[in-house]
Structure 1
Amino acid sequence: MEVSGIIKVINPEQRVSDSFRKRELVVTTQEQYPQYISINFVQDKCDLLNNFQVGEEVRVSINLRGREWRSPQGEIKYFNDIQGWRIERGAQVAQQAPPAYQQAAPTGYQQPQQPAANQFAAPTGPFPPADSYNTDADSDDLPF
């Protein structure tokens, strides 16, 4: 999965333990209603953020993670996490199609022709009136 937008926040690295570190990135999406997406980079992926600055347009490859937690009282809670594993910069990055759509067409392949502009046009003007209207249910030819 991917998230595209403008970097709003790059937090400093946090050392959770001697063997675990994480770093948070917040990306603001460019939609009618912008979203602020918090993305965590963990372990060696923290270093990917070193070359980025607030205000840059980026595309971030992410994985959704979820886990279950049971409290000492037996209550179960669920937590989600968005983890980043790659980040690319540039305005053109957000507008590009995924790599699968950028491959060259096989040899001998021809692009399908687009239909003529009026080939599927709706009829113009009113429909002619029905000759008769029968309310008898037996004459209905519908299969249901």
Structure 2
Amino acid sequence: MEIIGIIKKLFDVQKFNSGFQKREIVLTTEEPYPQNILVEFIQDKIDLLVNIKPKDKVKIFINLKGREWTNSEGIIKYFNSIQGWKIEHYSRSTKTGDENKTSITSSSLSSDDFDDLPF
């Protein structure tokens, strides 16, 4: 899946004692009712954001993730996250109507990126 919009905010990298790290951004969509979408980049994917700054128009390739969690009272809750795995600067040419995309970085996907596939 992919989403196109303007970078509204870039948060600092969050590092955890376990070695896990992530960086979140807010992307504002360009539609009649713009949405502010929080997208997270995890582990080595945070390096994709090095050349990204607020107000850049980008296309982000995403995976939707969902998980179930049971709290201490035994109540089951569900959480969703949007994880970016590729990002490109995005512009539309007004002369030809063609889309011009400049890839920031492309990274190869490993089997870890698809750990929730049923096969």
TM-score with structure 2 setting the length: 0.75
What's the offset of the Cα at 1:3?
0.7
Structure 2: runs of 5 or more not aligned: 100-119
Q: What residue is the counterpart of 2:49 in the other structure?
A: 49
Instruction: Give a deviation string over 1:98-138, Cα, whole Å, max 9, x none.
Output: xxxxxxxxxxxxxxxxxxxxxxxxxxxxxxxxxxxxxxxxx
What's the offset of the Cα at 1:17?
2.5
Q: Secondary structure at the match of 2:16?
A: strand
What's the offset of the Cα at 1:44?
0.2
* In 2, Cα distance between equivalents of 1:85 and 1:31: 23
* In 2, Cα distance between equivalents of 1:7 and 1:42: 17
- Please tell me the residue identity of whatever aligns with 1:64: L
Is 1:8 the counterpart of 2:8 in the alignment? yes
Q: Secondary structure at the match of 1:17?
A: coil
Report which of the two has the higher share of helix.
Answer: 1
Q: What residue is the counterpart of 2:75 in the other structure?
A: 75
* In 2, Cα distance between equivalents of 1:92 and 1:13: 30
Structure 1: runs of 5 or more not aligned: 97-144
* In 1, Cα distance between equivalents of 2:56 and 2:62: 18
Is 1:20 the counterpart of 2:20 in the alignment? yes
Higher relative contact order (CA 8 A, sep 6+): 2
What's the offset of the Cα at 1:41?
0.3
- Please tell me the residue identity of whatever aligns with 1:22: K
TM-score with structure 1 setting the length: 0.63
Q: What residue is the counterpart of 1:34 in the other structure?
A: 34
Is 1:62 the counterpart of 2:58 in the alignment? no
What's the offset of the Cα at 1:73?
1.4
Structural RMSD (CA): 1.5
Runs of 4+ off more than 2 Å: none
Of structures 1 and 2, the larger Rg is shown by 1
- Please tell me the residue identity of whatever aligns with 2:70: R
- Give the count of matched residue pairs: 95
* In 2, Cα distance between equivalents of 1:47 and 1:39: 14
Report which of the two has the higher share of strand.
Answer: 2
